[in-house]
Amino acid sequence: MTADKFSFQLLDTDGAARRGQITTPHGVAQTPLFMPVATQATVKGLTFDEVRDLGAETVLSNAYHLYLRPGVDRVRDAGGLHHFMGWSGPILTDSGGYQAFSMGNLRRANDDGIAFQSHIDGSRHFFTPESAISNQHGIGADIIMCFDQCVFSAGEPGDVRDAMERTHRWADVCYETHARSPNAGRQALFGIVQGGTVPEMRDESTRYITSIPFDGYAIGGLAVGETKAEMHAVTEQVCDGLPADRPRYLMGVGSPEDLVNSVALGVDMFDCVLPTRVARNGALFTLTGRVNIANRRYAEQDTPLDDACDCYACRNYSAAYLRHLFKAGEMLGPRLASIHNLRFILRLMADLRAAIAEQRFDAFRADFLVAYRPTDEQRRQSQKHRWITERGA
């Protein structure tokens, strides 16, 4: 089913957990949903037929990267992003605000916008709220994002406040720019709540952003250095202040345990590069936690990594063969691991939707979290700190 305009319908609730349906001109998507990340109009190593067969209904692409290469005009002239990359379902595009954050010393922000230095050729570019919206209009995604300024959630309070207030000013400009466009209605525009881990600022940002009648609302500035407890506290606080009749999107979160816990807090939409990024390094999800397929324990396992998994990798190959592919440096290894991890996440989302519909979400969540061993928190924080340091932020 398609429609001329974007809409969201809330179908069921079980506590704070929600099940709904998003309708767009390019089809429908059931929530809670996970969007595989197709940053440069591709989910690395996979075809979109494969991505669709894994259970994905919506994917995310990045307007900043597509602006640099192949260019907004090229995508528009190709008939829009759906035609260009051969994906017929809904697409969400990020505006470039997160890229400004992640590029460290390659960007400078002021009240007018953000100056970038291309990581491709060193050329200089300047994004404003108006240009960020215009770029996404040209690309033609079904859901587009406001231009915001993301900073480290645990950064200096003054820096967090400055970025939050700038995000608010830019949200007004983004909304006005979009409202004047013929794309309004067909393309949904989501606002983004910022404010770090400071409860007062998150309340202030939630009130400000929800005062603008966006089609949906996102929680930004998380999974960027704070603890899991802080992330969950902020998510719960913001969700409590968001309107029930609009979709809620937690940006950049994709660990299995975080998906389950965040759905429990009222989140509808997620995206993250994590499932495919760790897959390319041989880390695979199982119901008991993430495993490293290169470990010697799998060298003689002539059965699938997960007998209960219905992905192509587990239906056709043994754990020993997957290990061999990674040890031999064969490109099929990362492909099969990516297929497995995305199928794991997308099945998890389907299971969450069914649990909400059948009013057994709490039991499902409890059983999942008892069995699943998350990545060590101290190790995760160490890796994030190294990432932050490398970017000079």
- Answering whether pTM is above 0.75, one says yes
Predicted local distance difference test score (pLDDT) of residue 1: 55
Task: Give strand pairing partners of 250.
Answer: 219, 270
Residue 271 is a catalytic residue? yes
Of 94, 148, 268, 306, catalytic: 94
**Which pLDDT score, from 0 to 100, does residue 385 have?**
53
Q: Which of 258, 268, 271, 306 is catalytic?
A: 271
Quote the pLDDT of residue 392. 42
Q: What's the confidence (pLDDT) of residue 380?
A: 58
d(CA 334, CA 330): 8
Candidates 32, 237, 251, 8; CA nearest to 146 is 251
Crossing angle of helices 361-371 and 256-264, in 10° steps, is 150
73 within 8 A of 84, measured Cβ to Cβ:
no
Query: What is residue 185's predicted lDDT score, i.e. its pLDDT?
Result: 87
CA 356 to chain CA centroid, nearest Å:
21
Decide if domain 7-271 falls under CATH 3.20.20.105. yes
DSSP 117-157: E-TTT--EEEE-HHHHHHHHHHHT-SEEE-------TTS-H
pLDDT at 382: 63
Q: What is the DSSP letter of 376?
A: P
Q: Quick check: is 49 catalytic?
A: no
Q: For the chain, which residues make up each domain, given as ranges?
A: 7-271, 279-359
Please report the pLDDT score of residue 378 as a whole number: 67
All residue ranges of the chain with pLDDT < 50 are 387-393
